[in-house]
Amino acid sequence: MWDYPRPPAVEAVPGRLVEVRFAGMLVASSSRAFRVLETSHPPVYYLPPADVATGLLTEGEGAGVCEWKGRARYWDLRVGARLSPSAAWSYPDPLPGYRELRDLLAFYPGRADDCTVDGEAVVAQDGDFYGGWITSEITGPFKGGAGTSGW
């Protein structure tokens, strides 16, 4: 991932099965995902809303801004009595160069119970700000851990 570009690149990953589970429920399952690749970050997967149980999502508080992608909207995930605040985010009006991300949903793997890529369990990127998905094909070090904000 150190050879990932800056600004970030968006890459379609058709055929890779990306899944998210929370509170015993399959929340998302897609083989039509995109991933964003950025220097010093593990990939972030973005899923079409049609492949997500969007009825489990409600608009969360706050908003974020990415200098490349634009203003993000956060989504809370609720299954029964369990709530994961700001478990996902989307870009309703992304900046030029990132239009293919419009309304796709990305999940923080650390805010779900289980995220997988092609059946492999994902490790969440350190830090509360980042949403990278670490699998065995990705090597670090990664931004997000203590002392890495200045990279």
Residue the block writes with tokens 């990132």? 98
pLDDT of residue 49: 98
Question: Running DSSP on this structure, what letter comes out for residue 129?
Answer: S
Give tens-digit pLDDT for 120-145. 999 998 876 678 999 999 887 777 76
47: nearest Cα among 58, 60, 32: 32
Q: CA-to-CA distance for 25 and 64, rounded, in angstroms?
A: 27
pTM value > 0.85: yes
69 DSSP assignment: T
Q: What does the alpha-carbon distance between residue 73 and residue 87 come to, in Å, rounded to a whole number?
A: 11
Q: Each residue of 61-92: pLDDT tens digit?
A: 988 888 889 999 999 999 999 999 999 999 99
